[in-house]
Amino acid sequence: MSVDLPIVAAPMAGGPSTPALVRAVAEAGGFGFLAGGYKTRESLAAEISHVREHTEHFGVNLFVPSSASVDRTAFQNYARHLEPEAEAYGIRLDPEPVADDDRWVEKLALLIEQPVPVVSLTFALPDPAAIAALQQAGSRVFMTVTTPTEARQAEALGLNGLIVQGPRAGGHSATFDPARRIDDISTRDLVREVRAGTELPIIAAGGLDGPVAVKELLDAGAQAVAVGTLLMRTDEAGTSDIHRRALTDPNFTETALTRAFTGRPARALRNHFIDAHDAYAVDAYPAVHYLTKDLRQAAAKVGNAQRVHLWAGTGYQNVPEGPAANVIRWLAGS
Ligand SMILES: Cc1cc2nc3c(=O)[nH]c(=O)nc-3n(C[C@H](O)[C@H](O)[C@H](O)COP(=O)(O)O)c2cc1C
């Protein structure tokens, strides 16, 4: 088996990334990431062992907790605003903002004790000691960045590479400053801007819709291109049924960036929840994630896609089905 195609399976927490997907991507000649986000140390360790039975060409992604504080009044106003929505499902919303570090300390310790070839980090810059410890253990450490300024901040920490994520990407924006206004820019232009200021390896991510875009991103200075949304309907992805169906449902006609579901900007298929609540949403991740979690789960259970976070990048209309290996080869033009 060789890793010879410049295509990376982006980490997708919440179900889509599975050991089977990472393995299939590696077998096709690409490079895959397991998503450590939302998992316990034990379940992440089990996924790593599973992948290791087949390949050493993989990475693990973790969420880095942010130290930003929550505006309680704004949070509670949003909770009140969502109450009628929750009542319809017989759910009581907890107006106390939940703080959570996504078990960062335990999962970091796991990756230091049992190192993997590549670790990618997202959401905030970690303590430099964490990066040094991962590197000393033998991992190459990549940081996800969304602007040239974030790229400079990340580079100053001595990283091995950057994942440059444009705002057309599906799922959460990786920005270190989730309260900022996120203006549209193509991933290609963002890669060019970041490339002008660094010689670090770049993996470009966001809005991929096919092989032409891959070539453009490589020409813009990326060493590899990450694909998320276009893998979500593959055989090996663990995407939920409601999400899988929504990606090809003609009732969804566009994506939107919203804080309504989790309190951090994320790109999703535009649905009722976004239309009704985005204007009231607050910058408070992961508190809003916990606030809306039961409501989203209840909606998913009864098949109501209008109230579920349907993460998707702008390339979603080209989402293929079948084996992930075919998607990787198609994107690589091989
Ligand atoms: C369902 C979903 C879950 C995601 N989860 C993560 C994650 O856990 N960690 C992360 O760094 N990025 C995550 N992302 C962002 C992807 O890693 C990547 O940046 C994005 O999918 C690229 O854009 P595309 O979806 O348009 O290909 C997620 C994206 C999606 C669609």
pLDDT in the model for residue 1: 38
Atom 10 in ligand 1: which residue has the minimum CA distance? 11
Which atom in ligand 1 lies closest to the alpha carbon of residue 35? 8
171 CA distance to ligand 1 centroid (A)? 5
Cβ partners under 8 Å of residue 18, min gap 6: 47, 236, 237, 238
Give φ, ψ of 55 to 5 degrees.
Answer: -155, 155
**Please, are residues 166 and 146 in contact by the beta-carbon 8 Å criterion?**
yes
Atom 5 in ligand 1: which residue has the minimum CA distance? 12
112 CA distance to ligand 1 centroid (A)? 24
Q: In the structure, which protein residues have their CB atom closer than 6 angstroms to any atom of ligand 1?
A: 10-14, 16, 35, 37, 61, 122, 144, 165, 169-171, 174, 205-208, 226-230, 311, 313, 315
Atom 8 in ligand 1: which residue has the minimum CA distance? 13
Cis ω for the linkage preceding 211 (within 30 of 0): no
61 CA distance to ligand 1 centroid (A)? 10
Atom 6 in ligand 1: which residue has the minimum CA distance? 12
Question: Could you tell me the maximum CA-CA distance found in the chain, to the nearest angstrom?
Answer: 55
Among 3.10.580.10, 3.40.50.300, 3.20.20.70, 3.40.50.1700, name the CATH number for the domain at 7-65+101-233+318-332: 3.20.20.70
Rg over alpha carbons for the chain, rounded to the nearest Å, is 19
Q: Angle of helix 211-219 relative to helix 324-332, nearest 10 degrees? A: 50
73 CA distance to ligand 1 centroid (A)? 30
| Strands (E) located in 125-269 | 140-145, 161-165, 171-172, 202-205, 224-227, 255-258, 266-269
Separation of alpha carbons 334 and 328, rounded Å: 9
Per-residue pLDDT of the chain (334 residues; tens, 9 = 90+): 345 899 999 999 999 999 999 999 999 999 999 999 999 999 999 999 999 999 999 999 999 999 889 999 999 999 999 999 999 999 999 999 998 999 999 999 999 999 999 999 999 999 999 999 999 999 999 999 999 999 999 999 999 999 999 999 999 999 999 999 999 999 999 999 999 999 999 999 999 999 999 999 999 999 999 999 999 999 999 999 999 999 999 999 999 999 999 999 999 999 999 999 999 999 999 999 999 999 999 999 999 999 999 999 999 999 999 999 999 999 999 8
**Please, are residues 248 and 269 in contact by the beta-carbon 8 Å criterion?**
no
9 CA distance to ligand 1 centroid (A)? 9
pLDDT in the model for residue 116: 98
| Strands (E) located in the chain | 7-9, 31-35, 58-63, 118-122, 140-145, 161-165, 171-172, 202-205, 224-227, 255-258, 266-269
**Please, are residues 234 and 319 in contact by the beta-carbon 8 Å criterion?**
no
Atom 3 in ligand 1: which residue has the minimum CA distance? 12
Atom 30 in ligand 1: which residue has the minimum CA distance? 171
3-state helix, strand, coil in the chain (%, to 5): 40, 15, 45
53 CA distance to ligand 1 centroid (A)? 25
Which atom in ligand 1 lies closest to the alpha carbon of residue 123? 11
pLDDT in the model for residue 4: 87
Q: Where are the domains of the chain?
A: 7-65+101-233+318-332, 69-99+253-309
Separation of alpha carbons 271 and 307, rounded Å: 7
312 CA distance to ligand 1 centroid (A)? 8
280 CA distance to ligand 1 centroid (A)? 24
Ligand 1 pocket test: pick from 7, 12, 17, 209 the residue with the most ligand atoms within 8 Å of its Cβ: 12
**Please, are residues 138 and 115 in contact by the beta-carbon 8 Å criterion?**
yes
Residue 63 Cα distances to 261, 273, 322, angstroms: 17, 25, 29
Place of tokens 């360790």: 45
Specify the 3-state DSSP secondary structure of 208: coil
pLDDT in the model for residue 3: 56
Separation of alpha carbons 209 and 227, rounded Å: 9
